[in-house]
């Protein structure tokens, strides 16, 4: 979930973000309940999109359509598609109903609920329930001493975290996470030095 949130913040502007839903209709000549096959159909769709929009970016989360007892796969896609008539887009998809809209909410958080649901779904065992385009900028992650040094450097540059949180680890005690978006920096409002929190040292430390 952290990865999706970071990819979202680092790659999509609010004014370009779209929420695309892709479904599979009945009567197709392949198993619409097979996530592997359905992912391949999405890859075909992506190639069509790139012919008209080379900078197509997306984060895709799959879900099984169980409310109507069909069990068919459908996709929730965060993307940067420009305006395309929905009928044209549905024809390009070719496998069923589509819906594209401007999300009035945090689409990354919207995708989280499907990730949580998928983590308990045995149909996804050994298969990825989400993916993203290769042209997304991936954030750098620093741990332990490197993280402390990096955070101190950013503080010296008068930058505050854009986002931070803490959680309890079974192996290393309290873990503190600080995230900086250097494309949208937040200046610190105080000149007081930060107090780095050294990592806990024990025999159960894991990298």
What is the structure's pLDDT at 119?
Answer: 77
Total domains present in the chain: 2
Give the pLDDT band of residue 15 (cuts 50, 70, 90): confident
What is the structure's pLDDT at 200?
Answer: 52
SS3 173: strand
Check whether residue 195 and residue 112 sit in a common domain. no
Enter the DSSP assignment of 25: -
Task: Report the share of the chain in percent with pLDDT over 70.
Answer: 90
Check whether residue 58 and residue 81 sit in a common domain. yes
Q: To the nearest whole number, what is the mean pLDDT of the chain?
A: 85
Check whether residue 25 and residue 127 sit in a common domain. yes
Tens of pLDDT along 185-203? 889 875 455 555 555 554 5
What is the structure's pLDDT at 108?
Answer: 78
Domain-ending residue, one of 132, 151, 180:
132
Domain-ending residue, one of 132, 160, 180:
132
Tens of pLDDT along 99-118? 998 876 777 777 887 787 77
Write out the DSSP string of 102-159: --SS-HHHHHHHHHHHHTT-GGGTTS-SEEE-TTSPPPP---HHHHHHHHHHHHHTTE
List the domain range (segments joined by +) for residue 159: 140-207
Check whether residue 81 and residue 168 sit in a common domain. no
Check whether residue 110 and residue 154 sit in a common domain. no
In degrees and rounded to multiples of 5, residue 75 shows phi and psi of -120, 140
Domain-ending residue, one of 110, 132, 154:
132
Give the pLDDT band of residue 61 (cuts 50, 70, 90): very high
Check whether residue 31 and residue 114 sit in a common domain. yes
Chain centre distance of CA 94: 25
Check whether residue 121 and residue 163 sit in a common domain. no
Check whether residue 128 and residue 146 sit in a common domain. no
What is the structure's pLDDT at 197?
Answer: 52
Helices and strands in the chain, H and E counts: 5, 9
Tens of pLDDT along 117-135? 777 778 888 888 899 999 9
Is the pLDDT assigned to residue 139 strictly greater than 80? yes
In degrees and rounded to multiples of 5, residue 31 shows phi and psi of -80, 110
Which residue matches tokens 């209709």?
A: 25
- CATH number of the domain at 92, please: 3.30.70
Is the pLDDT assigned to residue 54 strictly greater than 80? yes
Check whether residue 59 and residue 107 sit in a common domain. yes
Check whether residue 118 and residue 35 sit in a common domain. yes
69: CB partners within 8 A, 6+ apart:
none
What is the structure's pLDDT at 104?
Answer: 66
Task: Report the share of the chain in percent with pLDDT over 90.
Answer: 39
């Amino acid at each position: 979930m952290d990865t999706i949130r970071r990819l979202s913040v680092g790659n999509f502007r609010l004014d370009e973000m779209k929420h695309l839903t892709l479904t599979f209709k009945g009567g197709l000549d392949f198993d619409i309940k097979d996530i592997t096959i359905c992912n391949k159909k999405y890859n075909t769709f992506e190639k069509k999109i790139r012919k008209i929009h080379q900078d197509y970016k997306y984060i895709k989360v799959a879900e099984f359509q169980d409310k109507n007892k069909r069990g068919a796969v459908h996709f929730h896609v965060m993307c940067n598609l420009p305006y395309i008539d929905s009928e044209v887009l549905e024809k390009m998809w070719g496998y069923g109903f589509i819906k594209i809209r401007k999300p009035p909410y945090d689409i990354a958080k919207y995708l989280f609920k499907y990730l949580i649901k998928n983590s308990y779904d045995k149909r996804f065992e050994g298969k990825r329930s989400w993916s993203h385009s290769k042209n997304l900028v991936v954030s750098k992650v620093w741990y332990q001493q490197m993280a402390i040094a990096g955070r101190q450097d950013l503080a010296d540059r008068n930058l505050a975290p854009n986002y931070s949180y803490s959680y309890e680890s079974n192996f290393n005690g309290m873990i503190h996470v600080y995230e900086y978006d250097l494309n949208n920096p937040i200046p610190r409002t105080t000149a007081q030095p930060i107090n780095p929190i050294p990592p806990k040292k024990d025999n159960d430390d894991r990298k």
